[in-house]
């Protein structure tokens, strides 16, 4: 049992942070890191190659590429980040394709969940005229449509026969440091219960019948995370203070189960419905939406 | 040949106005008018029952119900108009159904073409949870999606198996008096080349396999119409003035062909790309969008 | 020194909660509570009558009326809440006036800070035509205008000579229970450093020269609050558990200064820039914006 | 009496077109034309130097610079047009200044009238922090504020003491060719009855006490213009056709008064409330808003 599974995260890096502390490695999970663009963009390649690795990580087998950059928050970073992003999108897309369907998940009307639709708004769609390139839509969430988003996408795939799907979604991170600094790409698609909106069935190659590239961007941290982090920090601080060391030590010796119960007591249902975002989330969605759509446009048309 | 076909209109009443002047009747086309809500809403029932009638009208066989009311422009008219609308929606829907798919045609980003998406935003979707009621989406236009809207709708119908479709769209009228005063319902669906955006293939019972109720609201008048109307008015005015009667008479004797050519000379391509709308079109879309969505909600759930 | 001053709150009830625990009363501060609308709306009247009271509370002398209701979050609660609100607005406005200037503080482009501008959008302005009634504007925040908001308001007052000002603003609460459930009215105006945006100089009767009624609605909780609350809860939980009582007791014996320092260590600058909101903050702003504007319209015109 | 005064236009070039046909010159009015940016931008400098010139033109004495370019409609034209615009803004601003107040006139909620507010949204405001540069606001229209826009601006000027004002507004043109292709700058400010919204008192150096640079962009053509143009075209066409020459000649001999009356008969109040715009006016406002704000930012900060 992995204590980090208690706190939901959609980000592979946050899963692995918990598991590979102190130089520990995981069988069947491969990591590669590099800094590009003069060190301004940090890229981490994670590949889960075995079922054991998948079980340990709690994530499906496949490739996960994470871009991290402070530039993502800034207007002037759009070009650099889009360029980098397009390179890795190409890497995860199938080698040959004529048409790609882009799907922007999420609710256009709720700022924290609007990244997907915003990206679709800025894509350059050509399929119908040119017989190749991008087509796409923002299907809305179930509260808006009364339908499973997966059903809408399956119907559209049946009719338009694309060779691959790119799904774009806002994610929930564990760490507030992730907000506005991270983009995750994976060829494992999207699995139930993830995302800001928790709004869909599985969207994977096995459910849709064609390759699925998921592009996810953390936009919120669940309030429960702040509670958990505060708890952890208190222990660390207590241990670092001479006079309090005994107290801190005592709490730090709690079993995972004890810690979990303590945190559950702190988490009322009201806390659970809230989320932590930057006050300027509206701007963040605008900038990152531009970066992601530009990255997809470049990957597809250049 | 019918001179009124030169000028496009999506409204059955505008077609018939040209054809039934001077008490003339059309074989196979039946009319019924009534005033309801203390005379504040005018309802015209048109039914085209024969192929001959359809040819004469240039519109497919079926039922057309037109609501006209000055209340549509006003916040305080929403309840009355929605109530009336819901009655006629029920009349044109199949007698038995479990699920209805609502489709808001048009481009959310262009005010004049945004009525359909706005209506979808205000519908109460329940299908997934309750196994009956409304589901729906605003698929966007081809420039946004790279796909035929009809293909998206067909795909969604295949997956979700509704019993009928309601399509909502902004229309183009011939007469400026129609803007913000008219709603047209028809069970003939929507045919290519109509609407503000001209953006779709046929959406009819024969193309989609289930009954289609189309709700259309005129939001623009094509600029060409203003040119045509000015031309007609000039003739009338000339004829009514003693000293100019001869001149007016001469022009009024033009053949349809001559008139058509004259107007074509007045219509440059630039004029064709423009449209005539109320300055406060944003408000109009807001009020009428509320009325239509409330009318559908009532028809489906009450 | 009051430990609750460490954590910012704009709400008088949250200040008093800390100070009047265990039946303690404060000299010069008067409380009155009542339930109205069949118990669905809870009204608390607080009046700070003396300088001593003001010092104890850390808030200026004057009247504070707080409405609390679960109805505020709901579409169907708009009428009831607006009616109640209008009654208390009338109570705090001067007895005689011809013109009132409404000012919607905040940034229209950031959802969490957009309540003020949204309220202005829905007010019924008549002053210019009718020589009496409401006039108003949403001046924007300093980042948008490059000017002190107080300067803009002073300039407008000089030119239009209203008899009173109503300022509407989004507030920060200490408790997440306040989000979407509370409206605070006060005749003490708005003081520097309050509000979601922290964006203005003092707006009070003494700075503007005419009576100021401030209507504030909590829209965010500062992340620091969650940290603080978690810390407090941990102590409580520790004390309530037999095996941990000693540890909890030790921490609870920290001086205010020690606690403050501990919390500061938990609060990185990144945490400080974040805020806690409901995910559907966009809807909350919509509903409460309608309620407040309807309440003002009623108070002024009925 | 000048027949062109019958049809309102805010554009100096449209006034002069009517008056300087056939090589006619106007005393006291000076013209200079040049093509820049490889012929892609057409600049016309008009200066009305005498009272006689002002009377003939029906416009106040001062400088008018008009930029015309097809690039204005396009995303890729923003940089070129903003660069050109900034050059001419500098030319019309006072030589020395510390602070400039930018005012975006118009109604943010009505697309056709929203250019001014959109420009303000994209300006870089610095005054408060840096003691020099831009400050600005979008005061809204009288229907929104209940106040004369001129009063709000005067109040703000009194408090913030800028050295000049830049006013941005959407204009009405006579010719549909102007929509999305023209920007007019003038140091004569803005006079009553102009603009899309017709919403304000005089904003001139004499009314505000500091230099006023007005930047206007035609966004609508009044429907009356289309009627007038159709009328004129019919005459031309009639005269050019052999068999109709007599008829056309007769109409063309109408006095100005007769023509005016004829057109008034064509113009019902309903027509007057409508306007002619491109269907994609939302996009046009977006692109030109960016161009104008970038032009001002460059003029002020580079």
Q: Do C203 and C188 meet the contact criterion of CB atoms below 8 Å apart?
A: no
Q: Quick one: C233 and C96 in the same domain?
A: no
B-chain residues near D281 (CB < 8 A): 110-112
| Residue of chain B with shortest Cα separation from D276 | B276
Q: What is the pLDDT of residue C5?
A: 40
Is the CB of D223 less than 8 angstroms away from the CB of B227?
A: no
A-chain residues near B135 (CB < 8 A): 145-147
| Residue of chain C with shortest Cα separation from D123 | C144
CA distances for A291 relative to A71, A294, A296, C21, angstroms: 10, 5, 9, 51
pLDDT level of residue D1 (50, 70, 90 thresholds) = very low
Section C95-121 average pLDDT = 94
Q: What is the pLDDT of residue C81?
A: 94
Nearest CB among B138, B145, B157 relative to A125 is that of B145
Taking residue B261's Cβ as centre, other Cβ atoms within 10 Å add up to 13
Q: What is the pLDDT of residue B255?
A: 64
Residue to test with chain C: of A73, A107, A108, A111, most C Cβ within 10 A: A111
Distance of CA B280 to the CA centre of its chain: 20
Is the CB of D227 less than 8 angstroms away from the CB of B230?
A: yes
Q: What is the pLDDT of residue B58?
A: 87
Nearest CB among B230, B271, B275 relative to D266 is that of B230
Report which of residues A272 and C133 the model is more confident about.
Answer: C133
Q: Quick one: D17 and D127 in the same domain?
A: yes
Section C289-300 average pLDDT = 96
H/E segment holding residue C215: strand C212-222
Spatial separation of the C-alpha atoms in residues D164 and A189, rounded to whole Å:
57
Q: Quick one: B69 and B151 in the same domain?
A: yes
Domain extent for B138: 4-221+279-301
Q: What is the pLDDT of residue A249?
A: 65
Nearest CB among A126, A136, A159 relative to B155 is that of A159
Q: Using CB atoms, which chains have 3+ pairs under 8 A with B?
A: A, D
Q: Quick one: B184 and B259 in the same domain?
A: no
pLDDT level of residue A143 (50, 70, 90 thresholds) = confident
Would the pLDDT of B166 be above 90?
Answer: yes
Q: Quick one: A211 and A232 in the same domain?
A: no
Would the pLDDT of A131 be above 90?
Answer: no
At A246, list the tokens. Answer: 């005994």
Spatial separation of the C-alpha atoms in residues B44 and B37, rounded to whole Å:
14
Q: What is the pLDDT of residue B2?
A: 34
Residue % of chain C over a pLDDT of 70: 79
Q: What is the pLDDT of residue D54?
A: 92
Is the CB of C146 less than 8 angstroms away from the CB of D156?
A: no
Q: What is the pLDDT of residue B19?
A: 77
Taking all residues of chain A, what is their mean pLDDT, rounded to a whole number? 85
Phi/psi for B185 (5° steps) reads -115, 140
Size of interface C-D (CB pairs under 8 A): 99
Q: Using CB atoms, which chains have 3+ pairs under 8 A with D?
A: B, C
- pLDDT, one tens digit per residue, over B32-74 is 999 998 889 999 999 999 999 999 888 899 999 999 998 988 8
Minimum distance, in Å, between the CA of residue B59 and any CA atom of chain D = 26
Would the pLDDT of B130 be above 80?
Answer: no
| Residue of chain D with shortest Cα separation from C125 | D146
| Residue of chain C with shortest Cα separation from D135 | C146
Q: Do D263 and D257 meet the contact criterion of CB atoms below 8 Å apart?
A: no
Q: Quick one: C199 and C61 in the same domain?
A: yes
Q: What is the pLDDT of residue A6?
A: 42
Q: Using an 8 Å CB-CB cutoff, list residues of chain C that contact chain A.
A: 109-113, 176-177, 179, 196, 220-221, 223, 226-227, 230-231, 233-234, 237-238, 244, 247, 250-251, 262, 265-266, 270-271, 273-283
Distance of CA A202 to the CA centre of its chain: 15
Spatial separation of the C-alpha atoms in residues A194 and A200, rounded to whole Å:
8
Q: Quick one: B228 and B126 in the same domain?
A: no
Minimum distance, in Å, between the CA of residue C41 and any CA atom of chain A = 20
Nearest CB among A121, A128, A147 relative to B146 is that of A128
Q: What is the pLDDT of residue B115?
A: 96
Spatial separation of the C-alpha atoms in residues A12 and A10, rounded to whole Å:
7
Size of interface B-D (CB pairs under 8 A): 113
pLDDT level of residue B75 (50, 70, 90 thresholds) = confident
Is the CB of D226 less than 8 angstroms away from the CB of B231?
A: no
Q: What is the pLDDT of residue B181?
A: 92
Do A and D touch, 3+ Cβ pairs within 8 Å? The answer is no
Q: What is the pLDDT of residue D6?
A: 41
Residue (of A70, A2, A7, A74) closest to A40 by Cα position = A70
Section B142-161 average pLDDT = 93
| DSSP state letter for B175 | S
Residue % of chain C over a pLDDT of 90: 54
D-chain residues near B230 (CB < 8 A): 226-227, 230-231, 266
Give me the DSSP letters along chain A: --GGGGS----HHHHHHHHSGGG---TTEEEEEEEETTTTEEEEEEEE-SHHHHHHHTS-SEEEEEEE-GGGGSGGGHHHHHHHHHHHHHHHS-SS-SEEEEEE-S-TTSGGG-HHHHHHHT----HHHHSSEEEEE----HHHHSS-HHHHHHHHHHHH--SEEEEEEEEEESSGGGTTTEEEEETT-B-TT-SSS-----BSHHHHSS-EEEEEEEEEEEHHHHHHHHHHHHHHHHHHSGGGHHHHHHHHT--HHHHHHHHHHH--HHHHTEEEEETTHHHHHHHHHHHHHHHHHHHHH-
| Residue of chain D with shortest Cα separation from C107 | D121
Would the pLDDT of D126 be above 90?
Answer: no
Is the CB of D266 less than 8 angstroms away from the CB of B226?
A: no
Burial label for D265, CB within 10 Å (0-12, 13-18, 19+), is middle
H/E segment holding residue C212: strand C212-222
B-chain residues near D239 (CB < 8 A): none
Residue to test with chain C: of A266, A267, A284, A286, most C Cβ within 10 A: A266
- pLDDT, one tens digit per residue, over D245-261 is 666 666 666 666 666 66
Residue C179 Ramachandran class (φ > 0 left, ψ -120 to 50 alpha, else beta):
beta
Would the pLDDT of C176 be above 60?
Answer: yes
- pLDDT, one tens digit per residue, over D171-210 is 988 888 889 899 999 999 987 656 665 545 789 999 999 9
Would the pLDDT of A243 be above 80?
Answer: no
Q: Quick one: D184 and D142 in the same domain?
A: yes
Residue with tokens 């708005």: C190
Report which of residues C236 and B291 the model is more confident about.
Answer: B291
Q: Quick one: A33 and A95 in the same domain?
A: yes
- Give, to the nearest 10 degrees, the angle between helix B256-266 and helix B223-240: 120
Residue % of chain B over a pLDDT of 90: 54
Is the CB of B231 less than 8 angstroms away from the CB of D230?
A: yes
- pLDDT, one tens digit per residue, over A3-59 is 334 456 789 998 887 777 666 778 899 999 999 988 899 999 999 999 999 998 888
- Altogether, the residues listed in chain C come to a count of 302
- Altogether, the residues listed in chain D come to a count of 302
Taking all residues of chain B, what is their mean pLDDT, rounded to a whole number? 85
Section B72-90 average pLDDT = 92
Q: Using an 8 Å CB-CB cutoff, list residues of chain C that contact chain D.
A: 109, 120-121, 125-129, 133-140, 142-148, 151-152, 154-160
Minimum distance, in Å, between the CA of residue C112 and any CA atom of chain A = 7
Q: What is the pLDDT of residue A1?
A: 26
Would the pLDDT of C287 be above 90?
Answer: yes
Is the CB of A134 less than 8 angstroms away from the CB of B146?
A: yes
A160-164, D231-235, D286-290: segment of lowest average pLDDT: D231-235
Q: What is the pLDDT of residue B6?
A: 41
Pairing of strands A212-222, A164-173: parallel
Spatial separation of the C-alpha atoms in residues B26 and B31, rounded to whole Å:
10
Q: Using CB atoms, which chains have 3+ pairs under 8 A with A?
A: B, C
Is the CB of D128 less than 8 angstroms away from the CB of C146?
A: yes
Total domain count, chain C: 2
Q: What is the pLDDT of residue D224?
A: 73
Q: What is the pLDDT of residue D165?
A: 98
| Residue of chain A with shortest Cα separation from B124 | A144
Would the pLDDT of C192 be above 70?
Answer: no
Section D162-176 average pLDDT = 92
Distance of CA D258 to the CA centre of its chain: 29
Phi/psi for C216 (5° steps) reads -120, 140
Is the CB of B151 less than 8 angstroms away from the CB of A138?
A: no
Pairing of strands B274-278, B212-222: antiparallel
Q: What is the pLDDT of residue D15?
A: 85
Taking all residues of chain D, what is their mean pLDDT, rounded to a whole number? 85
At A204, list the tokens. Answer: 């994977």
Q: Quick one: C148 and C290 in the same domain?
A: yes
A184-198, A241-255, B35-49, D196-210: segment of lowest average pLDDT: A241-255
Domain CATH number, residue B134: 3.40.50.1450
Do D and C touch, 3+ Cβ pairs within 8 Å? The answer is yes
| Residue of chain A with shortest Cα separation from B145 | A136
Residue to test with chain D: of C145, C157, C208, most D Cβ within 10 A: C145
Q: Quick one: B287 and B264 in the same domain?
A: no
Q: What is the pLDDT of residue B238?
A: 67
Spatial separation of the C-alpha atoms in residues B230 and D228, rounded to whole Å:
9
Strands (E), D174-299: 182-186, 212-222, 274-278
Minimum distance, in Å, between the CA of residue D266 and any CA atom of chain B = 7
Q: What is the pLDDT of residue A5?
A: 40
Minimum distance, in Å, between the CA of residue C133 and any CA atom of chain D = 9
Q: To the nearest 5 percent, what fractions of chain C are helix, strand and coil? A: 50, 20, 30
A-chain residues near B131 (CB < 8 A): none
Phi/psi for D278 (5° steps) reads -65, 145
C241-250, D68-77, D133-142: segment of lowest average pLDDT: C241-250
Maximum C-alpha span of chain A: 73
Q: Using CB atoms, which chains have 3+ pairs under 8 A with C?
A: A, D
Minimum distance, in Å, between the CA of residue D71 and any CA atom of chain C = 28
Pairing of strands D182-186, D164-173: unpaired
Spatial separation of the C-alpha atoms in residues D146 and D139, rounded to whole Å:
11
Q: Do C284 and C73 meet the contact criterion of CB atoms below 8 Å apart?
A: yes
Section C180-194 average pLDDT = 86
User: ipTM of the assembly?
Assistant: 0.86
Q: Quick one: C63 and C170 in the same domain?
A: yes
Section A152-178 average pLDDT = 93
Q: Do D227 and D180 meet the contact criterion of CB atoms below 8 Å apart?
A: no
Minimum distance, in Å, between the CA of residue D247 and any CA atom of chain B = 5
| Residue of chain A with shortest Cα separation from C243 | A250
Section A203-228 average pLDDT = 89
Q: Using an 8 Å CB-CB cutoff, list residues of chain D that contact chain C.
A: 109, 120-121, 125-129, 133-140, 142-148, 151-152, 154-160
D-chain residues near B243 (CB < 8 A): none
Q: What is the pLDDT of residue D266?
A: 62
Taking all residues of chain C, what is their mean pLDDT, rounded to a whole number? 85
Would the pLDDT of B163 be above 50?
Answer: yes
């Amino acid at each position: 049992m992995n204590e980090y599974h208690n706190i939901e995260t959609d980000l592979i890096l946050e899963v692995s942070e918990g598991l590979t502390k102190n130089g520990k490695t995981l069988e069947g999970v491969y990591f590669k890191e590099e800094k590009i663009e003069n060190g301004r963009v940090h890229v981490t390649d994670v590949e889960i190659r075995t079922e054991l690795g998948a079980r340990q990580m709690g994530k499906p087998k496949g490739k996960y590429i994470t871009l991290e950059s402070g530039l993502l928050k800034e207007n002037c970073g759009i070009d650099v980040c889009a360029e980098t992003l397009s390179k890795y999108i190409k890497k995860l897309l199938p080698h040959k394709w004529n048409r790609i369907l882009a799907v922007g998940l999420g609710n256009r009307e709720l700022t924290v969940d609007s990244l997907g639709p915003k990206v679709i708004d800025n894509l350059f769609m050509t399929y119908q005229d040119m017989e190749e390139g991008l087509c796409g839509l923002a299907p809305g969430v179930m509260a808006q449509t009364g339908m499973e988003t997966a059903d809408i996408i399956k119907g559209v795939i049946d009719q338009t026969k694309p060779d691959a799907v790119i799904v774009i979604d806002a994610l929930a991170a564990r760490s507030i440091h992730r907000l506005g600094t991270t983009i995750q790409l994976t060829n494992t698609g999207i699995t139930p219960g993830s995302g800001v909106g928790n709004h869909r069935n599985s969207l994977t190659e096995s459910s849709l019948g064609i390759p699925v590239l998921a592009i996810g961007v953390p936009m919120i941290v669940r309030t429960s995370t702040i509670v958990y982090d505060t708890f952890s920090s208190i222990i660390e601080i207590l241990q670092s203070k001479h006079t309090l060391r005994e107290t801190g030590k005592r709490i730090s010796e709690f079993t995972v189960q004890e810690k979990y119960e303590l945190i559950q007591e702190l988490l009322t249902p009201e806390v659970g419905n809230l989320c932590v975002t930057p006050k300027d989330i509206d701007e963040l969605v605008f900038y990152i939406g531009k970066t992601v759509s530009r990255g997809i446009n470049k990957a597809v048309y250049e």
